[in-house]
A and B are shown apart, each in its own frame.
Chain A
Amino acid sequence: MRPVRRPDVQRRRSKGSAVDWLRVGGHWSVWRLAVLLLVLLFSFPFLVMLTSAFKNAADIFHAPPQLLPRSWTLHNFREAFRQIPFWRYLGNTLLICGLNVLGTLLSCPLVAYALSKIRWRGQMPMLMIVLGTMMLPPQVTLIPIYLLWNHAGATDSYLPLIVPAFLGTPFLIFMLRQFLMSVPDELIEAARIDGSSELRTYWSIVLPLARPALATAAVFQFVWTWTDFLNPLIYLNDTSKYTLSIGFYNFFSENGVEWGPLMAACVLFTLPALIVFLLGQRYFVEGIATSGLK
């Protein structure tokens, strides 16, 4: 068993890491520059989105382009709130996201446990099935699944958007399985010898150990559901049930896009997920770190 290591920033700094060759003359400036450049590269489109949300129509399309608005306006945000029932859609989206996260937390580690810590003959075939599913082009299953839900009379309800999470997501099962592999067998064996049932062992020994990895899976699932577009689009008909991601359609029309309000809505859409990521990050990055994803 390898002891769980917590990253030690102080020690790392004094002893040096694998990549400190970028450190020129003992200063950190090159590093900071690299970080800033990287962050700028990735967040630039978002920066454009953010500043455009505060621009008036004339400033948005200006040649040559200018990043900052000549005059700041909140008009686009007002317009975005006027065109889509933001709070209602936010509530719908949060409900679906919450239940998806719950479903994932209930099902994925359970399956991952069967694929890592229970010795049974079905383990390998089952793992192959999980991996094989990941390779399946989603277009294959789209229509048959739609017909299935329609047959069950569940279109225009949240069931098609929620139930699948309670039955496990291959990517996350695979990820959690890789984590559970590194949980020492001795702990589980000890519990079994003590006469603890399998479910109890799983619930009281394995799950608490897996908490960081569960947080990772939760954040991933949250963000996927948050940004999911196709499924809400296909399954929801009643506009009062819409999620935020399909609310964006209000800003598109056959002949173009209402840029300002769209950008404002997009900023409003991204912020909650960003907050979830920032909150989850503490568990998140440490999470997989201690898990030994192999």
Chain B
Amino acid sequence: MKARHHLRTIVTSAVAISLGLTTAACGSSGGNSSSGRARVTFSYLWTGNEAKALEGIIAEFNKSQDKITVVGVSSPDFQKQLASMSAAKGTFDISDNFGNGVGSWASKGILTPLDSYIQADHVDTGDFVPAAMNQMKYKGHTYSLPIAVHDFELLYNKTEFAAAGISAPPTTMEDLATDIAKLTKVDASGNITQLGLGNPDTGTTMTTLGYAFGGTWDGPDGATPSPDNPANIAAVEFYRQNIIDKYGAAKVAKFTAGWGQYMSAQDPFYTGKVAMIIDGEWQPVSIPTTNPSLQWAVANIPYPAAKPNLAGTTQLTASTLFIPTNAAHKAEAFEFMKYLTGAAGMAAFTKALGNLPARTSLLDSNTYASIPQFSMWLQNLKNPNVHALASQPYSQQYSSDLATAFKSVLDGSKTPQDAMASVAAGAKQYPSS
């Protein structure tokens, strides 16, 4: 009897609480704050320290004018981003993504075309790095603006180079092959203890090598998948011949599995387990804080000896800002986008995150002087051999199919020809633009 009484009390009070909560929850939703400022929600994928740097810049923007208040939300999940954009009422006004996703989203009508804003405000898009700006466009319209770009160079361990008697970084692919052999160590039982060339991210390493061999991943028109381009196959074949076949797929897999967390103190490049990597401009920021004792340097990605015109080839990827179609405050969101992608905002942002600016006018800025060896990445953006993957409707699925195919080469189950042919076969099913 007593227990029943008790239960009833709990139930009654809890119903009261939940009713109160319901009204509170309904009451708190609203767009504009009382001060007359428009409230722009900026949902970004960055987390941790990068998010903190970004919040600093948001605070600066809020102080700089009195019409808009930007509220930043760190929300690193793609699924949530999509769910919100699929609804009639969006939960954010501006967000970020990667450059090669622009076409896919633009083709589905999720992104607000920025052309009219760009025209009205006389934004000079000519200052943005061309390869990045290319990704922002779909069918002649601009749907995104780049906030930062990334390119890839060859990082090497100076201590290991000296120990192997190598005096200069490789300039040709042939040199690279020789150096990989010199820098790879195998113990008595055939286990690899040091690898000449590592791959922090198989997809990026392979596609970058493809460009370096003179290949293209999106056909001559830049809008058709071309995985079986002979130069692409040659690049994958290079990796297979010099690493997988030479030391055994199983041995390489075992060694790779033991690599520490990327960019942690146990990162294989930081600990000398891997003597060279092809990686981006965030490394010069990370290395001095994570492993200051590492003796490293950076060089351009080698080119095939027969094709010296390919010197300085690199792949560019971009981080972009966009306004979803269901945003509530588009014009205000563009104001903020202009601020972030403007020279001052971009310099502050990229400096804080250790990324490359997407504006050519910033490439020679001394903002980045304090970051060691950063100029290699910066300056190489001016090279005509900067390539970027297309941003077409098929791009997302293409990347994931390529990643699967590269993996099958690395684990020795497929030849580069077969792997790329299977991607090409699958690509026929991709949605057309």
- Are A and B close enough to touch in the complex, i.e. CB under 8 Å? yes
A122 to chain B, nearest CB (A): 26
A252 to chain B, nearest CB (A): 6
| A58-B265 in contact given A146-B83, A249-B47, A250-B47 (Cβ < 8 Å) | yes
Query: Per-residue 0/1 for B3-36: is the Cβ within 8 Å of any A Cβ (1 yes, 0 no)?
Result: 1100100110011011001100110110000000
Are A156 and B29 within 8 A (Cβ)? yes
Of all chain A residues, which has the CB nearest B18?
Answer: A99
Are A61 and B14 within 8 A (Cβ)? no
Query: Which of A95, A150, A250 is in CB contact (< 8 Å) with B87?
Result: A150
Q: How far is the CA of A142 from the CA of B15 in the complex (A)?
A: 27
Are A143 and B7 within 8 A (Cβ)? no
Q: How far is the CA of A159 from the CA of B262 in the complex (A)?
A: 39
Are A157 and B25 within 8 A (Cβ)? yes
B97 to chain A, nearest CB (A): 12
Interface residue SS majority, chain A: helix
B56 to chain A, nearest CB (A): 16
Instruction: Answer whether residue B379 sits at the interface, using C-beta atoms and an 8 A cutoff.
Output: no
Chain A residues with Cβ below 8 Å from B7 are 207
B182 to chain A, nearest CB (A): 26
Query: Per-residue 0/1 for A76-117: is the Cβ within 8 Å of any B Cβ (1 yes, 0 no)?
Result: 000000000000000000010011001001100000000000
Pick the interface stretch among B71-79, B246-254, B414-422.
Answer: B71-79
Instruction: Answer whether residue B48 sits at the interface, using C-beta atoms and an 8 A cutoff.
Output: yes
Of all chain A residues, which has the CB nearest B49?
Answer: A253
Query: Per-residue 0/1 for A230-254: is the Cβ within 8 Å of any B Cβ (1 yes, 0 no)?
Result: 0001100111000000000111111
Chain B residues with Cβ below 8 Å from A151 are 87-88
Query: Per-residue 0/1 for A197-234: is the Cβ within 8 Å of any B Cβ (1 yes, 0 no)?
Result: 00000011001100100000000000000000000011
Chain B residues with Cβ below 8 Å from A153 are 26, 29, 89
Are A57 and B265 within 8 A (Cβ)? yes
Q: How far is the CA of A255 from the CA of B355 in the complex (A)?
A: 14
Q: How far is the CA of A249 from the CA of B75 in the complex (A)?
A: 8
Are A150 and B77 within 8 A (Cβ)? no
A97 to chain B, nearest CB (A): 12
Instruction: Answer whether residue B43 sits at the interface, using C-beta atoms and an 8 A cutoff.
Output: yes
Are A256 and B41 within 8 A (Cβ)? no
Query: Per-residue 0/1 for B24-66: is the Cβ within 8 Å of any A Cβ (1 yes, 0 no)?
Result: 0110110000000000010101111110000000000000000
Chain B residues with Cβ below 8 Å from A252 are 47, 76
Q: How far is the CA of A159 from the CA of B19 in the complex (A)?
A: 11
| A102-B18 in contact given A58-B265, A204-B4 (Cβ < 8 Å) | yes
Of all chain B residues, which has the CB nearest A203?
Answer: B4
Q: How far is the CA of A147 from the CA of B83 in the complex (A)?
A: 8
Chain A residues with Cβ below 8 Å from B79 are 233-234
| A99-B14 in contact given A255-B262, A257-B261 (Cβ < 8 Å) | yes
Instruction: Answer whether residue B92 sits at the interface, using C-beta atoms and an 8 A cutoff.
Output: yes
B44 to chain A, nearest CB (A): 12
Number of interface residues of B (CB under 8 A): 47
Are B73 and A239 within 8 A (Cβ)? yes
Instruction: Answer whether residue A185 sits at the interface, using C-beta atoms and an 8 A cutoff.
Output: no
Q: Which of B262-312 contact A (CB under 8 A)?
A: 262-266, 282
Instruction: Answer whether residue A258 sits at the interface, using C-beta atoms and an 8 A cutoff.
Output: yes
Q: How far is the CA of A250 from the CA of B26 in the complex (A)?
A: 28
Chain A residues with Cβ below 8 Å from B282 are 255
Q: How far is the CA of A99 from the CA of B86 in the complex (A)?
A: 29
Instruction: Answer whether residue A162 sits at the interface, using C-beta atoms and an 8 A cutoff.
Output: yes
Are A158 and B25 within 8 A (Cβ)? yes
Q: How far is the CA of A142 from the CA of B83 in the complex (A)?
A: 9
Query: Per-residue 0/1 for B306-331: is the Cβ within 8 Å of any A Cβ (1 yes, 0 no)?
Result: 00000000000000000000000000
Q: How far is the CA of A77 from the CA of B11 in the complex (A)?
A: 37
Are A143 and B43 within 8 A (Cβ)? no
Are B91 and A156 within 8 A (Cβ)? yes
Instruction: Answer whether residue B122 sits at the interface, using C-beta atoms and an 8 A cutoff.
Output: no
Are B11 and A106 within 8 A (Cβ)? yes
Instruction: Answer whether residue A182 sits at the interface, using C-beta atoms and an 8 A cutoff.
Output: no
| A234-B260 in contact given A99-B17, A150-B88, A204-B4 (Cβ < 8 Å) | no
Instruction: Answer whether residue B428 sits at the interface, using C-beta atoms and an 8 A cutoff.
Output: no
Instruction: Answer whether residue A278 sits at the interface, using C-beta atoms and an 8 A cutoff.
Output: no
Q: How far is the CA of A99 from the CA of B24 in the complex (A)?
A: 15
Instruction: Answer whether residue B139 sits at the interface, using C-beta atoms and an 8 A cutoff.
Output: no
Chain A residues with Cβ below 8 Å from B14 are 98-99, 102
Residue of B7, B48, B89, B266 most packed against chain A (CB within 10 A): B48
Are A234 and B47 within 8 A (Cβ)? no
Chain A residues with Cβ below 8 Å from B265 are 57-58, 61
B241 to chain A, nearest CB (A): 30
Pick 28 A–B contacts, CB within 8 A, sort by A.
A61-B260, A61-B264, A99-B18, A99-B21, A102-B18, A143-B86, A146-B83, A153-B89, A155-B87, A156-B91, A157-B25, A157-B26, A158-B21, A162-B21, A203-B4, A208-B3, A233-B77, A233-B79, A234-B79, A234-B83, A237-B41, A237-B84, A237-B91, A249-B77, A250-B47, A250-B74, A253-B46, A256-B264
Leading 7 A-B pairs by shortest Cβ distance:
A157-B25, A150-B87, A102-B14, A256-B261, A61-B266, A253-B48, A253-B47
Known: A159-B22, A255-B262, A256-B263. 13 other contacts (CB 8 A): A98-B14, A146-B83, A151-B88, A154-B26, A157-B28, A158-B25, A203-B4, A233-B80, A237-B75, A237-B84, A238-B73, A253-B76, A254-B47
